[in-house]
Structure 1
């Protein structure tokens, strides 16, 4: 009986059958615990029902499973992928948002071969999923897989032009990061065959490098200029402070020396102009 319920659970997840799922959970409230990530009771791919529903794009099933067993977000299949990874690979953005909200740590988890979810998005050409995930992975944009490749390296190699443009325009990538072969993203591009995409990508990467170089040069000039002009700046600051102080103690027009019987506003010590 128990095995039959588990099979029906997987069938409900694979078919997107919310009614069947609800009936199963009502019959056995511990059913999901027996197929959680701590249990061996998974299918042949070591996928949980949440893996299946996330991959197939069944949002309502995903929500019901999460409400009953939120820990399934961190469950891994035989390739080290959690349900969020599968949703990203298939481009199911609504499910992706739901899973991120439930478990932000699932987005930071790496899959097999040390690939981040951003690597998986590039590999499967999922631009919209990439856009959702990148802001949640600040500081990990340049994370490397087992081959030392970043998401940008992979995008350049696969000529994923839109993802490259997004990375360049909306994230803080480092073009100087090198993979296990000592290559930067530009080096990887140079190995490819020239073409329209090749030229466009090269122009984008070169433009970023020129901007980075310009900023670095300007910063170096400022850092060199500050010590040289330090004394001048200090003198000017002292002068400004002195003038401000003088204006406070000796205002324009002077101050009233004593109270005036003819002017109720004239009091000793107050500025005449006031």
Structure 2
């Protein structure tokens, strides 16, 4: 009869269930105490038989509280599969099952968050609002699980249900001290980051157990092309690094007649430090400037290296697809052609040599920058950064020359005159631009040398103006 009951649950056959009850009225109670892992309610809930689930709950509501060998209730299974109608029936009979954790330490709400079951999430929170505060064994809330599984819609639905009444939940930390914003930044989830920054009450400068804010988390994570966009989003929202938070001093509101002498001394010390705050700000801005330059150089160098490598293996005109030792008339070729060699090398050997020289120069210059940036050498001073930028100019210029050589090779003779005019104008404009950049940097370097050795005296400026001036130093 247990086999027949299991078959009826799998098929959702209510008539077979009623026939079994006529034969044995206690069969549902027996299924609760048998050695079988899953009850008929587990099976029918997992398979989505709504009518069968309703019939079982009407006959024996205690089935809703039964757990299988993995400590999962029928509500766990229905929530994980997103079966909204069955979830409604189960929480109607026993809403307390929303708080029960399975063998992995997860509640039905946690499983729905991981799977992104938006409607189920709303139903569970409405049925038992305090279930949103239950955490996993790693102290993760349902919000952490939504972000960890990249479930933006599920995250939005949870915040709409609980965020208005509980601002603390969006700032909850897991076992590593990470908030949901830490996790979103670490996983480079741009859309989730944008949404979280709009949530009222979110602590954007929370610090985890490693002493990192979300901005520090971005810096420590593996670099990719999304980092610059994420950094701009965070800075625009007012996110600070841990170093930024340490240099912020609180405002003192004191009554001079009632302040002890030791407190007055402390306030005097703080005031003196604030009046002499140029150096810390300068150091921070200096480091920030170098960091932005390093990131920009890494991205540009990677792109140039990729383009140069691709140009080397697929030169203009392509490569010969097969070996050729004779011409169309059967006569032996003076220079036999081998499969995989460049067509341009046979037809225009001088231009091909120029193409490869400048392409190799761009490739090696960009790789040199990448090697310097990832080498770990102490090259964090401005002069080293400018040397790398000069190498970058060389790489970009070589890439431009490579482009014009390729363009001339691929253009027909009928377009030679127009191409020559375009090339001359483009090269002239490029040389003018390079000249302006070179002259500007020479002037900046000379001014820096003159200021450094006292030939030019700097005017007294406000700290903010001083910061801007520091940014212009070479």
TM-score w.r.t. the length of structure 1 is 0.70
Q: Please list the CA deviations of residues 120-162 of structure 1 after superposition, one character each: whole Å capped at 9, or x if unmatched.
A: 0011111111112224141222211111111111111111111
Aligned counterpart, 1:73: 98
Tell me which of the two structures has the higher relative contact order, counting C-alpha pairs closer than 8 angstroms and 6 or more residues apart: 1
1:128 and 2:153 are equivalent in the alignment? yes
* Per-residue Cα deviation, 1:6-53 (whole angstroms, up to 9, x for no partner): 6211001100111221222233233324x1xxxxxx122211100110
**Equivalent-residue separation in structure 1 for 2:151 and 2:239 (angstroms):** 29
Larger radius of gyration: 2
Give the equivalent residue in structure 2 for 1:97: 122
| Separation of aligned partners in 2, 1:13 and 1:165 | 37
Q: Which structure features the higher share of helix residues?
A: 2
Q: Aligned-pair distance for 1:175?
A: 3.1
1:4 aligns with 2:64: no
Alignment of 1:119-158 (within 5 A): 119-135=144-160, 136=162, 137-158=166-187
Structure 2 CA distance for aligned equivalents of residues 127 and 87 of structure 1 = 13
Supply the distance in 2 between the matched residues of 1:142 and 1:153 (Cα, whole angstroms). Answer: 10
Q: Give the superposition deviation at 1:88.
A: 1.5
Partner of 1:64: 89
**Alpha carbons 1:143, 1:150 under 8 Å: kept:** yes
| Cα separation, 1, equivalents of 2:188 and 2:46 | 33
Which whole-Å deviations, capped at 9, do the CAs of 1:151-199 have from their partners, x for residues lacking one?
1111111111111111112333323221111111111100123333211
Q: Superposed, which structure 2 residues align to 1:1-274 within 5 Å?
A: 1=27, 2-4=29-31, 7-33=39-65, 35=66, 42-135=67-160, 136=162, 137-209=166-238
Structure 1 unaligned residues grouped into runs of 5+: 36-41, 225-274
The secondary structure found in structure 2 opposite 1:194 is coil
| Separation in structure 1 between the aligned mates of residue 63 and residue 185 of structure 2, nearest angstrom | 45
State how far apart, in whole Å, the 2-side matches of 1:29 and 1:187 are: 52
Match of 1:196, SS? Answer: coil
Structure 1 residues 117 and 30, CA gap change in structure 2 (3 angstroms): closer
Higher mean C-alpha deviation, range 187-196 or range 106-115:
187-196
Equivalent residues of 1:168, 1:204 under 8 A apart: no
Q: 2: distance between equivalents of 1:22 and 1:69?
A: 13
Secondary structure, in 3 states, of the residue corresponding to 1:114? coil
- Residue 3 of structure 1 deviates from its aligned partner by 4.9
Unaligned 5+ runs, structure 2:
1-26, 33-37, 255-474
Structure 1 residues 174, 4: CA separation in 2 closer, same or farther (over 3 Å shift)? same
**CA–CA distance in structure 1, aligned partners of residues 140 and 203 of structure 2:** 18
Partner Cα distance (1:80, 1:193) in 2: 30
Classify 1:107/1:25 alpha carbon distance in 2 versus 1 (closer, same or farther; 3 Å): same
1:74-124 Cα distance to aligned partner (Å, 9 max, x none): 111112211111112111111111111111101121122101111100111
8 A contact 1:51–1:83 mirrored in 2: yes
Counterpart secondary structure, 1:204: helix
Evaluate the alpha carbon distance shift between residue 193 and residue 210 of structure 1 in structure 2; reply closer, same or farther with a 3 A threshold.
Answer: closer
Alpha carbons of structure 1 residues 3 and 53: separation in structure 2 relative to 1, 3 Å: farther
Displacement of 1:208 in angstroms is 1.4
